[in-house]
Structures are given as C-alpha cells and as structure tokens.
Structure 1
Amino acid sequence: MQGFCFSNKFKVAGMVKQRIQLFDIARGLAIFMVISAHTLTIFKGTSISNFLFLGNLAVFFVVSGYFYRPKSLMQIVKTGVNTLLIPYFIAAIGYLLIRGFIGVVFLHHEFITTAKWISLIYANGVLATTPTGYELTAQIGAIWFLPTMFIANIIFQLIMRLSKRWEQRLVILVMFILGVGLAHFGLWPWSFQTALQVQVFYMFGYELAQYVKQHQTLIFTKWWVGWSSFTVWLVSSWFTWYGLNQGRAEHIVLATIAAAASAIAILSFSYFIERHWVWLTKFLAYAGEFSLIILIIHTTDLNLTDMYLQQFMDRQAPGTRLMMYISLTILRIGYATGLTWIILKFRLLRKWLVQRDFPITK
C-alpha cells in the first residue's frame, strides 16, 4: 500500500488489502455524494445541499495527501497527464460530439458552438465570469475537477520539496489565502484558485498519515473522532455553503474546516461499513476504485438530461416531486455504477480510462 510504512503487524497481506479497501469505500461514498448533490436540486440553498457540497470532494484531496510520496516534477506531470488529463479530454470531447450529434439530428440546431469549445479548454464546471470580465456562457460539468487536481498535485509536490515542516505549512497557508483572494476576481482557468485552496486538504491528509505512522493507529477509526468530525460537518452546513469549483463560500474558513472534518467522518464511516456491512463494502469499494469513470458518466448524463428532467419535475406536486428526486438520485447512482461495469468489459475503453499507459507511461 502506498503512502507510508506500517509496522510488521500492519504489513500482513490481509491488513494491507483492508486498508486499501477502506479508502476505496471512502471514495465510493464521496462520488455518490457528488451525484446526490447534483441531483437533489430541490434542496438547493438549504442545509442539506450545503452538507452534500461541503463533503463530496475534499476527501479526494485528503486521501491524495495521505498517500503522498516524493516524485520528480517530470514523473508527477506524466502521471497527471495519464490519470487526469487524458480522461478529461476524452470525456469532454466525447460529450460535445454526442451532444452535437443529438442537436443536429434530433433537435435540428447547432450545439457545438465557440462557447462550448471555450468551456472545454477553460474547464469551468459552472457558468461564471473570468477575471478579465468574459462571460462563460457554457460549462463542462463535474469533470472540471480533473484538470484542477492535475495542477494541485504539482503544486503540492513543489511545496513538499521545502526541507522544513514550518516552511511547508507557511507556504500552504499563503497558497490558501492567495486562492481565496483570487476567487474574488472571478473563475480562473482550470479553477486555479481552487487548486491553491485545496493545498490545505493535501497537507491535512499528509499530517494524518504522519500521525498514523508515528502512533501506529488509524485515528479516524475511533468512534469519537468520527462522530466529532461528523458533528462539525453537520453544524457547519447550517451556516455556510462551499462552491469548491469557484473557491467561494459564505464563510470560507468555516467551510474549509467543515470540508476537512467531512473527510475524517467519511473515512470513519467507511471503516464502520467495512467491519459491519459486508454486503455494502464490495459495492462501495468498486465505486471508489473506478470513481473517475463514474464521474465521467455522471457528468455526461447531467449535461445531456438535467435541464429536461428538472423542467419535468418542477411541474409535479411538491410531495411527488421530492420522491421523484430521491428516486432519480438512486437511479443515477445505480446506472452510473452499472455502466462503469459494462464499459470496463471493453478492452479499448478500459485502456483509455483505467490503464492509461499512453502516450506516455508512468
């Protein structure tokens, strides 16, 4: 298992497998929260929506920091191209081509416009204004996360080259403040302001790994740690939201603390699931292992159908509408995971989206 060294009692094959599975379960829970947050728009502006958006992405950055290992700049760039940028451009271009085909053949209008290509290059997940004042009238969806993580990984690797821990922490703080400041000027390419802010989550994950290494205990498996983190996450959702794509929040410091707490709560709950709900473990671990493909499928689905589904649901009675939104969430989780399983049966698609050993290797 990458990330850190356990003592001999943690190095046995069974234990290593469990630890990997634990983090896969957490990623599975997080990607399903992404789907839920995007689907349950009936709760937009409420603490339920805040809760989902506070906790659906931070865990990915925390886990990356947890498994940090020094790499050369060329190695981290090559790895990022293979694992993040190639899937991003395959998904984005594929979506535009599909949408363009539907637009021309069935809706009889041109869909692939200049605005759409700009959104692909800019990788904006929301409609927003750039720092230069240009209005982004199209968006690429949830896969904005992939180019942002590519940049964030490189930044964290460079920061961790500093020899002293206090220097690393100071630069992380500066990066966070700078990211918050840049967010007030608009949405930057590849959500650069967010890539700076999430350095806090990388460092949080790294510090967590160092604690585990030093004390030989997974701190987040303790029940009181899980419940305390969950409480911080829950209570914070009553006061703030977190638009991570834009790096904006009503109370940015509170939102950041809550997002970090959500990662601990999700890891703690994942540990509970692994120990007590064996029937759910395999499903969530599979979703976590292939969360990138699920994200791509969800983004394509969201971009193609969400506007029409929302228009339909808004015409329903309030009670019926709520049940329909909940049902749609469950359906989206189910078929995104099911389509992932089907896609992985095709060798070429598996090579493009999972093995990703071209055009460069790690």
Structure 2
Amino acid sequence: MGDIIKKTRIEELDIIKCIAILMVVFGHTLCPVHLKVLFYWVHMPLFFLLSGITAPDINKYSTRGGYFGFIKKRIKTLYVPFIEYALPFVLFHNALFALGIDPNHFSSKEYVFQIIHTLLMTNGPSEVHLGAFWFLKVLFLAEIIYATIAYISHNQKVTNGICIIFGLIALIANKGIFPHVLQGNVIMPLRGLFYYTIAQVIFKDIRWKKIWYISIPIVLWWIVESFTAPYTEGNIQILSICSLNSIYQIVFTCGLFMILFLVSGYLKVFKTSSWMKWMGRNTIPLYLLHQIMFTFISFIIMKLGYDMDGATIVKNRFITCIPWWAYGILVIPCCYLVQAIISRGFNTIKMITKL
C-alpha cells in the first residue's frame, strides 16, 4: 500500500467501497443487532477515509484556479447528483401520498419550501424519504473546508493539523447539545473532515501506516466480543453520542480498513470480484435510493396481502415475511433500475433544452 496514491485506479479501494455500501444497505434492514452495531460504527467513516485517500495533493489547491476548479468539480460530482436524485421524489411527493407511501400531503407553500430545502442540500422537515442524502452534503462541506484551509495556509502539515484538531473536537462533543442546523452543517462535516484528513496523514505516509497494523487485533477482538455482549437496539444510539467511544471508533475504523485492504488484495484476483469493483465505482445509486426502495418493496408486499404494520413503513422498519439478507439483496437491482430511469429522464430534459 506504499504506492497507493501513485496508481490511477486502485481496485482494492473499489472493493472496500462495495463492502461499505453493502454495510449501509444491510444495516438498514432488520439484521441482527450485533451486525447493525458493527455496520453503523464503520460504514460512514470508511467512506470518508476512502474520500481522503483519493483526495488531490495539496498543491492542487495552492492556486486560485486550482481551488475554484476543485470546488467546481465537487459541485458536479456531489451537488448535482444530490439534486438529480432528490428533486424527483420531492416533485412527486403528493403522487406518493396518493398511493399511501408518503404520510402527509404537500400544500403549494410546503412544495416551495421543500424545493428550497432540497436546493440547499437539506432534507427539509417534511420529506421523510431523503434521510440518506445527508452524506453527500456532509462530504461536500468537509471537502470544501479542507480545500479552503489548504488554499489559505499553503502548508500540508498546518492544514492537516487544523482539520484534525477541529474534527476531533467535533467527534468528542455530544452533537445532541447543538441545534439541528449546526449538527448538519458544522458538527457532522467536521467529523467527516477528521476521517478525510486522517486518511491523508496515515495512508499517504508510509511511516504512519505501520502503526495502524497494531489496531488489527483490536478490531478482531471487538468483533468476537460483540457477538457475546448483551447488545440491544438502544445500544446503537450510543454510537451517535460522543465520548471516548469516538477514539475507539477511530482506531477500530482504521484497523478494519487495513484488514479490508489486505483481504481485497486477494479478492480482486477472482472473477467474482468484478461485480464488487463495479459496485464500488457506482455507490451513489445504492446509497441514495436504498431507503426509498425498501419503502416501495414494503408497500408492494403489503398490497399483496402479507401481514405488516403499514404505519411503520416510512420509519425503516421492514417486513419479516422474507429474511433480512434476502430483503437487502432484493433492493440492490431496484436501486440501479431507478437510477437508469432518472438518468434517462435528465438526459432527455437536457436534450430538449438544447433544441
């Protein structure tokens, strides 16, 4: 992994992205609580780590053109997908309500406010199906913060030091004491910024990487211990409450990354790894659409006459008539199908506007 940044495409990272996105999908099913705790602890930090590893060198931000070029690129790769995926669900909200999928009806005023919220990359108070979209906004803000500090300081060590200090403070602080607007626009981006930066310090510098091999036994111990501990659904909420658990989470996430990187090096030689690499290069549809697809599938199965509590559909508590793992597998092709429909629709709109 010493030349990790010199390669143009790192297949191991694509495989890790695939594993991380599967953790996200299966973590939102009724999987065993031990797996849910594991998935929730590492899946989002892993994505920030992966983004930091593949981030541009600090010299890219040193000039005015490079800095604004980076922002323009991130608008294209993060903001535009957010709008393309979120806006259709907002615009068709009342149609989903008529089908019985959405719990409330939008007035004209609520439509306007929700569209404004969407354009500002916020979920808004009424759109229940866009919960997963927070990650794109947080990653967008985290990368802009890092690029801005780098552009001002022109110094890699200073930039990393500032980002790590403020990110660590945000991790240790209990985000529940902050207003919601600060949680989503300051605390969460700073937490993501920590992992984004620590990846550049640890995994881009060979001297630090050896230290993190020490964390591998900690990861293995935690996995074994977690299956014997009396975890309950309530324990999952501990992960979002900051304390020294955050320090342990950092060590655990970095150690797990090392394990996954080593394992993916062996997996990539098998033919079956081709679909994992493809999914790793196409994580956005799965990430943004899996929750709404769970809702649609739950709705359809309920309409087919299976017993389930319809009131809990939009709360991510799903049916039990099929296994949780089968439910997760079922939703994957649905996400890519909807992604193809959305892409075709926006391409058609672009063609029409050019006429």
Question: How many pairs were matched up?
Answer: 317
Say if 1:5 and 1:272 are closer, same or farther in 2 by CA, change over 3 A.
closer
1:122 Cα shift? Answer: 6.3
Deviation at 1:205, TM superposition (A): 0.4
1:99–1:304 contact (8 Å) kept in structure 2: no
d(CA) in 2 for partners of 1:322, 1:338: 24
- Trace 1:88-99 onto structure 2 (pairs within 5 A): 88-99=82-93
Query: Closer, same or farther in 2 for the Cα pair 1:324/1:343, shift >3 Å?
Result: same
Instruction: Quote the offset at 1:297 in angstroms.
Output: 2.7
Q: CA deviation at 1:323?
A: 4.8
Name the counterpart of 1:148. 138
Of 148-157 and 301-310, more deviation after overlay is shown by 301-310
Instruction: Give the structure 1 partner of residue 329 of structure 2.
Output: 330
Contact 1:39 1:329 in 2 (8 A): yes
Q: Which residue identity is paired with 1:272? A: V
Deviation at 1:80, TM superposition (A): 1.6
Say if 1:54 and 1:255, in contact at 8 Å, map to a contact too.
no
Q: Quick one: distance in 1 between partners of 2:222 and 2:141?
A: 29
Q: Does the 8 Å CA contact 1:242/1:252 hold for their aligned counterparts?
A: no
User: Equivalent residue of 2:78, what SS?
Assistant: helix
Cα distance between partner residues in 2 of 1:108 and 1:59: 32
User: Which ranges in structure 2 are unaligned for 5 or more consecutive residues?
Assistant: 311-318, 351-355
Where do 5+ consecutive residues of structure 1 fail to align? 128-135, 353-362
CA distance in 2, matches of 1:351, 1:227: 53
Partner of 1:120: 118
Cα RMSD, aligned residues only: 4.3
**1:304 shift after superposition:** 4.4
Matches within 5 A, 1:222-237: 226-232=216-222
Where does residue 321 of structure 1 map in the other structure? 320
Q: Could you tell me which residue of structure 2 aligns to residue 158 of structure 1?
A: 148
Q: How far has the Cα of 1:193 moved from its partner?
A: 1.5
Relative to structure 1, the CA distance from residue 6 to residue 270 in structure 2 (aligned partners, 3 Å threshold; closer, same or farther) is closer
Contact 1:66 1:207 (8 Å CA) reproduced: no
Which residue pairs with 1:22 in the alignment? 12
Q: Out of 272-281 and 75-84, give the one that drifted further.
A: 272-281
State the match for 2:293 in structure 1: 301
Letter in 2 for 1:206: Q
Does the aligned pair in 2 maintain the 1:104–1:110 contact within 8 Å? Answer: no
- Measured after TM superposition, the shift of residue 260 of structure 1 is 5.3
Partner of 1:173: 165
CA distance in 2, matches of 1:280, 1:60: 23
Instruction: Give the CA deviation at 1:331.
Output: 1.2
Superposition deviation, residue 165 in structure 1:
2.5
Distance 1:86 1:56 in 2: 23
Q: Give the equivalent residue in structure 2 for 1:187.
A: 180
The residue type equivalent to 2:330 in the other structure is L
1:191 to partner: Cα distance: 4.1
Which of residues 57, 74, 77 is equivalent to 1:80? 74
The TM-score, its normalising length taken from structure 2, stands at: 0.71
Question: Residues of 1 paired with 2:338 and 2:344: CA distance?
Answer: 11
Is the contact between residue 314 and residue 321 of structure 1 (CA under 8 Å) also seen in structure 2?
no
Question: Is the alpha carbon distance of 1:138 and 1:118 closer, same or farther for their aligned partners in structure 2, counting shifts above 3 Å?
Answer: farther
Query: In the alignment, is the contact (CA less than 8 A) between 2:78 and 2:137 conserved in 1?
Result: yes
The Cα offsets for residues 168-212 of structure 1, whole Å up to 9 and x where unpaired, read as 425522343256355422322644320012222012201123323
Aligned to 2:316: none
Identity of aligned residues (%): 15
Could you tell me whether the CA contact under 8 Å between 1:85 and 1:150 is conserved in 2?
A: yes
**Which AA in structure 2 matches 1:331?**
L
Shift of 1:231: 3.6
Q: 1:81 to 1:62 in 2, by over 3 A?
A: same
Partner of 1:51: 38
Distance 1:312 1:154, change over 3 A: farther
Please state if 1:6 is matched with 2:3. yes
| Aligned residues of 2:174 and 2:241 also touching (Cα < 8 A) | no
**Structure 1 equivalent of residue 192 of structure 2:** 198
For 1:208, the equivalent position in structure 2 comes to: 202
Q: 2:38 is matched by which residue type in structure 1?
A: F
Report the Cα distance in structure 2 between the residues aligned to 1:59 and 1:197, rounded to whole angstroms. 12
Alpha-carbon offset, residue 289 of structure 1: 0.3
* Alpha-carbon contact 2:215-2:251 (below 8 Å) kept: no
Larger displacement relative to structure 2 (327-336 or 270-279): 270-279
- CA gap 1:201/1:231 in 2 versus in 1, 3 angstroms: farther
Distance 1:218 1:111, change over 3 A: farther
